[in-house]
Amino acid sequence: MAAYMIVMCKIKDRERFVAEYAIPTAKLAAKLGGEYVVRSPNLTCLEGDIDEATSVVISKWPSRVALDEMWNSQEYQQLKEKRRAFSEVQIVVTEDNSV
């Protein structure tokens, strides 16, 4: 069953974010079976209270196990530390249980 990681990210320094986090994370995700469905700085809030300067990233994984392997990998731990220096994130995971 596919798993999805949904990231809402408020980026403080986009240049550093892309160079030090986004590019190496994309390479790691591809290596471990993930694929990006959405990567967009163009958020429009239709309802609720979300800062429209927030970027959205949705990645699809073959399974929750594959997603967890990436999330817990040593390589990603190092990338997470870099990301925290120049962004604020909210991250959720869900599985596709549709019939």
CA distance 45 to 21: 25
**Per residue in 88-98, pLDDT tens?**
999 999 998 87
Q: What is the pLDDT of residue 99?
A: 60
What's the confidence (pLDDT) of residue 18? 93
Give dist(CA 43, CA 81) in Å, integer: 25
What is the reported pLDDT for 44?
Answer: 87
Please, what CATH class does the domain formed by 3-46+62-95 belong to?
A: alpha beta
Where do the domains of the chain lie?
A: 3-46+62-95
pLDDT < 50 regions, the chain: none
The pTM of the full predicted model, rounded to 2 decimals, is 0.89
